[in-house]
Amino acid sequence: MRARLFPQESDALLSRELVRMDHQAPARLLHLHKRPLICKFMSVPHDVAACLTQWLQPQSRDGWWHLTPGATPCTVDLLVGISMERLAVLRQEVQQTPCLQPVVTTLDAALQLQGETLNELLLGNTAVNVRQRTAVMGILNVTPDSFSDGGFYLQTDQAIKHAEEMLAQGVDIIDVGGASSRPGATPVPAAVERDRIIPVVSTIVKRFGARVSVDTYRADVAQAALDVGAVMINDISALRFDPTMACLIAQRGAAVVLMHMQGTPQTMQQAPWYRHVTDDIYTFLAERLDYARQHGIARQRIVCDPGFGFGKTMQHNLELLHDLQHFHGLGQPLLVGISRKSFLGHLLQREVWDRLEGTLAGVVYAALHGAAIVRVHDVAATVQALRLVEAIRTQQAQPPAHE
């Protein structure tokens, strides 16, 4: 059983969730005199759900609930609105009603995560404020077959020149990849991936002092990259594909991106399906976050990524963008990577090289809804767009001298 807390300020997200759960009168619940704590319990055993709803029944003036069938025949999903006063009573009630204990334990864990939301991300010895502004991660694929820029930077000197350009444009992190993860991509041997990455990472770090992330799910490639100065591992498998990756990252004090992907790059776009895309991916990321922390990776070094385009249809991607604020309940910085993705092409009828406007619109939306990092190909345009977002947020924009 997992609990997902709703942003307190967003009626739109609650209304959408109620409609998704076939609630017939969401407007009534949006106009309660006192805004309750709203939480969705997922995969609740029938006996626990019955116990909770029975307890809530006399408290209907201070809250409400709505349930739908769960992921398995023995469970339900339960959306609950409850005042903080009644929550305090619920905690006390556990002594007399033990069947409520799983609810209280699950909810308290969710509240603790949300209450410990990080303000800083540790990259090597540097603390990056992820609440102050959205950081830009520039993509540097040293591959012949990446979906957008395959072959452009395969040669080391080309890659280093592009890294220098991105740094001049204001990039915060450079993400170096040596193996394509585009849909249907064939894996390359680890030695090939390593040979492509290491000379580039080493030179960028030594020559420019750049913060470098490496896009790999292989621990031996990650170790070699960390040896030459990388500070982050961007793992599309969220530490699932290589059982030694988590311990390596913990031992080396590296940062990690835990990304959701349905299947593998070879299979992920073969009819992807979710029962509830936001619930499913939130649950996955919560489980991988637990796994990472159990293996000794500090929370200050963990970023979560819903994995736009990795085993998702166009509708899935749009729903995830719309629901981005839900993922703040994980308490971790969020990375959003939608740059030039296929769903933008399908939606806007644009080829891969002609998706800048769609990318920028998505980046700005993500930044306004709390993305800590955006991963992009077009650094200069992104930096300028986010600079305007930051100025609007802080209301510090200055008029030009000769306006």
CB 7 within 8 A of CB 326: yes
The encoded tokens of residue 122 equal 């540790």
Instruction: Return d(Cα 364, Cα 383) in angstroms, integer.
Output: 10
Amino acid at 62: D
Instruction: Return d(Cα 267, Cα 314) in angstroms, integer.
Output: 16
* Angle made by CA atoms 83, 86, 87, in degrees to the nearest 5: 85
Provide CATH code, domain 121-394.
3.20.20.20
CB 270 within 8 A of CB 313: no
Residues of 89-102 as b/e, b for ≥16 C-beta within 10 angstroms? ebeeeeeeeeebeb
- Catalytic-residue membership of 161: no
Nearest to 330 by CA among 126, 83, 177, 115: 115
The encoded tokens of residue 17 equal 């969730």
Half-sphere exposure of 277 (CA within 13 A, CB side): 23
CA 383 centroid distance within chain: 20
Among residues 40, 301, 312, 375, the one annotated as catalytic is: 375
The encoded tokens of residue 145 equal 């077959």
Instruction: Return d(Cα 175, Cα 7) in angstroms, integer.
Output: 31
DSSP state of 48: H
Q: For residue 376, what pLDDT is reported?
A: 98
The pLDDT tens digits along the chain (403 residues) read 999 999 877 778 888 888 888 876 555 555 554 667 899 999 999 999 999 999 988 755 667 888 999 999 999 999 998 888 888 999 999 999 999 999 999 999 999 988 888 999 999 999 999 888 999 999 999 988 666 665 677 789 999 999 999 999 999 999 999 988 877 777 899 999 999 999 999 999 999 999 999 999 999 999 999 999 999 999 999 999 999 999 999 999 999 999 999 988 888 888 899 999 999 999 999 999 999 999 999 999 999 999 999 999 999 999 999 999 999 999 999 999 999 999 999 999 999 999 999 999 999 999 999 999 999 999 999 999 999 999 988 875 455 555 5
- Catalytic-residue membership of 341: yes
Full-model pTM:
0.92
Q: Would you tell me how many other CB atoms lie within 10 Å of the CB of residue 352?
A: 14
Among residues 86, 211, 341, 355, the one annotated as catalytic is: 341
At 220 the three-state DSSP class reads: helix
CB 64 within 8 A of CB 29: yes
395 CB contacts (<8 Å, ≥6 apart)?
none
Point out which residues pair with 64 in neighbouring strands. Answer: 81
Alpha helices for 233-297 (secondary structure H): 245-252, 277-294
CB 205 within 8 A of CB 229: yes
Longest Cα–Cα distance of the chain, Å, equals: 72
Strands of the 173-177 sheet, one edge to the other: 302-305, 255-259, 232-235, 212-215, 173-177, 135-141, 373-376, 335-336
CA 357 centroid distance within chain: 22
Instruction: Return d(Cα 348, Cα 29) in angstroms, integer.
Output: 36
Q: For residue 397, what pLDDT is reported?
A: 45
